[in-house]
Structure 1
């Protein structure tokens, strides 16, 4: 496994890649599993709960996710989140060529963040439940329903595969504010 650099919107070249549509993988082979492992290590180090391959510059329809012991349905936890506690709650999930088969009419609003848009969070409204189909790490086709945080996260990561960022769901003013904030934070890090 290898740590990879996460592309961010403050870099023009990175943004151009993030806005591209990812291509399906032919199947889950050793190369795809290596990509998944690198993505997972990168996501844990960031730290984050989901990562799409495009966020590390690979235009493959691959996602990794780890919602820990939240089971996918819980959205908030009052537990202290120490590195040791997080390590024991790990529950990695792997998705190749994911697709949404059905989305509920019922909507759910959640405050989202993104490793490619560091230090910016905002509320996004998405379907509360989705039915998805994907290939798992073993290349087996899986079909299941997602709700709660799992539904939010899988839709967020699948947006990445289609060149869509969570801020694209916001008003133009909020999008501009997000980009400005991320660029300023990047300049401040360089100056420090």
Structure 2
């Protein structure tokens, strides 16, 4: 069975967007973070995302020249949406209009060995958690607080679950990557 990992980038107070720092990675880019991103892209996997993330990322990739964009185009991507219509412009992207509740268990059951990872897509991540489909959670914590200006709270409306820490890593002397295996569901 395929593993499903939710990857989230978060401020220390749990926001995934907004705030006073609008630069990529909230202005905390660095060589170790870039190496981590490249290492993650080097691993064969299927990326899951929702329509909002697809729209944003496909536009960024189309207009940008980051070296990672070519690799992102090569990887298989699945977009869950009832509003997007084919053809999708980002290479190797499959549009799925059936419910996450139906589609993801079928995708997890495929025996091709490719793990699945989310990209952004907080509402998709929440759905996957509510449906008890997540095997691992990785949170990259950025050293900033967004308090009253934060947008997109990352952990809102998640079910109560225990997390078993697999690993923790400090990148660039300031970012903390927490890697958890999902434990028991408490609610």
Instruction: Give the alignment's TM-score, normalised by structure 2.
Output: 0.26
Q: Pick the structure with more helix per residue.
A: 1
What's the TM-score once normalised by structure 1's chain length? Answer: 0.26
Q: Decide which structure has greater strand share.
A: 2
